[in-house]
Amino acid sequence: MDELYMARCIELARKGVGVTAPNPMVGCVIVHEDRIIGEGYHQEYGQAHAEVNAIASVKETELLEDSTLYVNLEPCSHFGKTPPCSWLIIEKGIRNIVIGSMDPNPLIAGNGVRQLEENSCTVQSGILEKECLNLNKRFFTYHKKKRPWILLKWARTKDGFIDRERGGIEDRGGLEERGVNWITGKHARQLVHKWRSEVQSILVGTHTALVDDPELTVRDWQGKNPLRLVIDRKGILPEPLKLFNGKTDTLVFTSSDAYNSAGVKNRKNLEYVLLPDEKDYLPLILKHLYKLEIQSIMIEGGAALLNSCIESGLWDEARVFTGDVSFGSGVPSPEIPGEPSETLSEGPDRLEIFRNF
């Protein structure tokens, strides 16, 4: 039965997708004699944790001392925006605790279990551990690898192209040709907006910003806009681009001091981050995002940026659409060696998911 109740914890935890970061997604179930008497989940960053909500939902509080608390992540043991959940569990007299996975956060990292055990609690861990780790892969990657979890996303045509040839950076991509050359259908595009609502940040390179003029916001789905990120090494991106429309927070990574020009530095919701002019920008960007507690990033960049990620091994998951169109010629699609972990149909399009973890 332990697996059944842990699966319910995971189901509850998923309700917090896109709104709990930088906290993990956590669900909690309280069981008395094979009957669920309370359950809850972490609903939003800064609000009560799953264990608090589950305990508060119990009407027959006299049963708590003879109940088992299930939670997919080790209870917290420190004061953050809320008091420690381990203390609350001890205070309420719950003596049996079943945990899916341990917490990698150095502030916790076993301390929650230690506090419980030192106060006469019996703790069992590792129930559906693989599923629990996958649920919070962004959180675990951030704490273990000291960088955000990296999702690559692109679409390619049936004949293997990611875009048409539309000029180079030197001529600013031909501004008269700006706009996306759509490869996928409406259903796939809606799914991408759902993914945007689930990550904390989204990155494109200079060329994509210039020729596609993307807005990188959540419009075909309900949810928060990710932090927009764009690489502009030489400071050449023009002001009319949608990335500079002020609708949501945007960071521009550059090696140029052009951002100091009049009118540029005062744009709404826009910040320039000056980086050394190194060939490989991505590690510098990831280091900056780690300091900002950004735990996830979706890279929707062009072929050059995507290929750089693949070649360096700096990616955790790739989601690749193949649309029902052909270009005949154009920019070749990036390729990931090996077979996809999953292949799905999304309307007329095919979605392949590759994993690097």
Give me the amino acid identity at 301.
G
Dist. CA 182–CA 105, nearest whole Å: 41
How many beta carbons lie within 10 A of that of residue 245, not counting itself? 17
Dist. CA 25–CA 32, nearest whole Å: 24
Say if CB 12 and CB 40 are below 8 A apart: yes
| Residue in the structure block whose two tokens are 């993914």 | 195
Dist. CA 36–CA 39, nearest whole Å: 7
Beta bridge partners of 253: 231, 273
The catalytic position among 3, 11, 33, 51 is 51
Cα-based distances in Å from 105 to 75, 109, 110, 142, 336 = 11, 6, 9, 9, 31
Q: What are phi and psi of 165, to 5 degrees?
A: -75, 125
91 is catalytic: no
Cα-based distances in Å from 337 to 237, 323, 341 = 33, 20, 12
Phi-psi region of 216 (alpha: psi -120 to 50; beta: other; left: phi over 0): left
Dist. CA 159–CA 302, nearest whole Å: 17
Which tokens hold the place of 227?
């932090």
Residues tagged active-site: 51
